[in-house]
Amino acid sequence: MSFRRKITSALAALAVTAGTIATAPVSHAVPEGEMSSNAGNAVADLGLSSGNGPVAPPIAPPDTSGAHLVSATHVEGNRWNIDVYSPAMGRTISNMALLPAGDAPRPTFYLLSGSNGGQAGQNWASHSNYEHFFADKHVNVITPLGGKRSIYSEWNNVDPALGNNKWTTYIAYELPSVIDRHFHGTERDAVGGISASGSGAIDLAAQNPERFKAAASYSGCPSTGGAAGWAYISAIMGEAGGLSFNAWGLPDSPTWNDHNPIRNLHRLHGTALFVSSSEGVPSAQERAVQPVWIGPRIVELGAHACSEYFTNMARKEGLHVTRYTPTHGAHSFYLFEESLRESWPTIGPAIGA
């Protein structure tokens, strides 16, 4: 199979697969200048490109006065469950939270789940030790639950299968208004996402640079343009019966282009960016838990190619991107958690944590 066909298959697999393992492989950072261009060029050749269509004009910030705290329940240690009512979606959203002790002001890191929305046990609390990592850090860490196959984006229409998705409004406006008011937020925040939510995290930062001063994509695909981008997004949403048309309309429409991070690089000047992925070689920990790693390897290879492409384009735009390429990792929480830890020297200082 040619490299081009491998990447096409990998991008399709990325849409429907994610791992759920919990610890961390040994990894290494890649200096600013060291990039392998083959993967990034292959993605560009496939059409996962910036595109030339129009971009939607900016819209006014939504009214968040109706968003309110429904409940806050202590789980253990620094872990809490927080329920917040979202007027935009007309329902109460549950959120996992790590909250530092005391009432001193602190920034907030909105840490998103993968394509399944963090439900059915597929989340940071169930498959990582992230609460221990953040235990000595003065930052709120908030993970919304829900949003399955939504890319944590703002959808144009209510979808018969996936419902009403107004995640940009919720994550960038409604939820922060509650966190800042009740949990001492400073309005200087960061957003990060794993797998399918990696593109959503970068998109959220590009749409809301005044709120998000740092953004991270962990084994994601932060480019949604071109034929491959359309296929990737449509496959993610379609796996649960959703229609990408209900999200952003037709490919290369103003709304679709407005949610392509490559089209919005100019909005990310001043944003601290972290992008991680590996070439999909399973670690010893991963092989011990699951001997056959064909699917996760292909998924991670697709994320790697897409992440290389985004990083190359961002650096051409003059943006500083911290690029992290672990030697091992096959799209599991072993890899995600290691990348999260490596991202903190980029994210923490940017938000004053």
Answer with the residue of higher pLDDT: 352 or 116.
352
Q: Would you say residue 321 has pLDDT above 90?
A: yes
The residue whose two tokens read 């992008």 is: 275
pLDDT at residue 280 in the model: 81
- How confident is the model over 231-288, as pLDDT tens digits? 989 999 998 999 999 999 998 889 999 999 999 999 999 999 999 999 888 877 777 7
Cα(323)–Cα(306) distance, integer angstroms: 13
Cα(5)–Cα(32) distance, integer angstroms: 28
Cα(130)–Cα(98) distance, integer angstroms: 9
Sign of CA dihedral 89, 131, 261, 238: negative
Q: What is the mean pLDDT of the chain?
A: 84
**pTM score, whole prediction:** 0.84
DSSP state of 250: S
Query: Does residue 11 contact residue 302 with C-beta atoms inside 8 Å?
Result: yes
- How confident is the model over 20-77, as pLDDT tens digits? 333 433 333 333 333 334 444 444 444 455 555 555 445 556 667 789 999 999 999 9
The phi and psi torsions of 71 (rounded to 5 degrees) equal -160, 155
Query: Does residue 198 contact residue 256 with C-beta atoms inside 8 Å?
Result: no
Domains in the chain with CATH codes: 3-351 (3.40.50.1820)
